[in-house]
Amino acid sequence: MNHQNNLSHNHLRAFQPEKLTPPRKFTIPEALQRETLKQPLILEIGAGKGKHALSFATENPDKHLIAIERTRNKFEAFHRLFTQQSLDNLTPVHADAIAWVVHAIAPNSLAGIYILYPNPEQHNPNQQWLNMPFFEFLLSRLQPEGKIILATNIEAYIDNAEQQAAKVWQLPYSRNVVANDSDRTHFEVKYLARNERCWQLTMTKPEGYLTRFDHWQMIDTF
């Protein structure tokens, strides 16, 4: 099925990846340098102190997770825990996720993406993930039938994300309330302990889904 002709995101301002410089001290992780990486590649954006990343890598030895955190103190806490464990299927990255993805991730290479409890950007909704032109680029890095999992405790955020997924990005999705005993991140534990409701939006990239970046990558990346 060809989605290119009826996707309303083609009318949005296009993301401009060529304008982004590499993150400071940028290198391609070993996991992405392997010629024949057989493990499905998963990306986590905003890994915080690494609670979900460490648990995911432990519970999914058949997958390789790249977990990105921008904030220095959170990343350092994450990295300390990472060094105490023997997890060769986890790559922690300290960088801005947008620039890093542009320079490091090839088209159609990710089996899944986690965005768990992002900054709600309530005063700047253009910076919410599904409102950004970058989201189209992110979809181009995802394999067909790959999933993006977004979780938040902000009802207005999940309402907007659901609307954008349906109307702008035209992605099949499911919306669910997070179970009360879920403990993927420190934020999730805190919110649920306060009896707050949390939501998850699971979006799937269909076969034949096209973006304007399906063949775009940095010339000197691979």
Query: What ranges do the domains of the chain cover?
Result: 38-204
Give the pLDDT of residue 139: 98
Q: What is the DSSP string of the chain?
A: ---GGG-GGGGSPPP-GGGPPPPTT----HHHH-TT--SPEEEEE--TTSHHHHHHHHH-TTSEEEEEE--HHHHHHHHHHHHTS--TTEEEEES-HHHHHHHHPPTT-EEEEEEES----TT-GGGSGGGSTHHHHHHHHEEEEEEEEEEES-HHHHHHHHHHHHHTS---EEEEEPPTT--SSHHHHHHHHTT---EEEEEEPPTT---TTTT---TTT-
Predicted confidence (pLDDT) per residue in 59-111, tens digit: 999 999 999 999 999 999 999 999 999 899 999 999 999 999 999 999 999 99
Q: Topology of domain 38-204, per CATH?
A: Rossmann fold (3.40.50)
Predicted confidence (pLDDT) per residue in 176-204, tens digit: 999 999 999 999 999 999 999 999 999 99
